[in-house]
Structure 1
Amino acid sequence: IAAWLMFGLIFLWTPPHFWSLALLKDEDYRRAGIPMMPVVRGARSTKVQSVWYAAILWLAGIALYFTGFFHWIYFVCAMLIGAAFFAVTVKMLREPDSENVWVRWTFLASLLYLPVMFAAIVAGAVL
């Protein structure tokens, strides 16, 4: 189960990561004819689905702790980084579709999410 949940972290992280980048580069994808989510479904739908993925990602990160293989340090990191990533994704949703301040923050947070989570796994294994 732990291996599947670790796979789940990567799987669930992928949509909000790439969709926030796609929201930033929406016009480029539109001109190139590449059917990324914001081009096909619009910014609002993309943001709503990103929030759902971020919420499930947070839960999957927490669930990983309860498999019994991970140190309490991992649990604290999973709670904090999951909450932070979810928070910026919600702020992105609340932002007008014409603005990209929180879209950019969501993309930057997504770049930190996986390395921090897997570093927490390693840190807990070392202790």
Structure 2
Amino acid sequence: MLFSLQFLWQFPHFWAVAWLADEDYKKAGFYLLPSKNGIKDPTTGFLSFVFCLLMIGNAVVGYAYGLV
């Protein structure tokens, strides 16, 4: 249960940090998922939303089985 929560949390967290610090990463020469060809890609927001929904599902399953 804890592994799945950590696994699902890491992607939207990293993408949100990368989205906010996109300019700094570009200056350092790193190109991350939030941008394609120097333009921020809205797909990243959608993927973050999907992973957040999966985390909610994880909590519901944990509650249903009495783990939370």
| TM-score between the two structures when normalised by the length of structure 2 | 0.80
Give 2:66's aligned residue: 68
Structure with higher strand content: 2
Give 1:35's aligned residue: 31
Where relative contact order (Cα < 8 A, 6+ residues apart) is larger, the structure is 2
Q: How many residues align?
A: 66
Alpha-carbon distance in 1 for matches of 2:8, 2:67: 21
- Are the equivalent residues in 2 in contact too, given 1:29–1:39 (CA < 8 A)? no
Give 1:8's aligned residue: 4
The 5-angstrom pairing of residues 87-102 of structure 1 reads none
Task: State the AA in 1 paired with 2:43.
Answer: S
Alpha-carbon distance in 1 for matches of 2:44, 2:7: 17
Alpha-carbon distance in 2 for matches of 1:69, 1:55: 19
TM-superposed deviation, 1:35: 3.1
1:24-80 deviation line (CA, Å, top 9, x unaligned): 10111122222321134833011011011011111011111122233xxxxxxxxxx
Gap regions ≥5 residues in structure 2: none
- Find 2:14's aligned residue among 13, 18, 26: 18
Task: State the identity %.
Answer: 33
Alpha-carbon distance in 2 for matches of 1:19, 1:69: 29
- Find 1:45's aligned residue among 31, 43, 46: 43
Gap regions ≥5 residues in structure 1: 71-127
Structure with higher helix content: 1
| TM-score between the two structures when normalised by the length of structure 1 | 0.46
What secondary structure does 1:68 align onto? Answer: coil
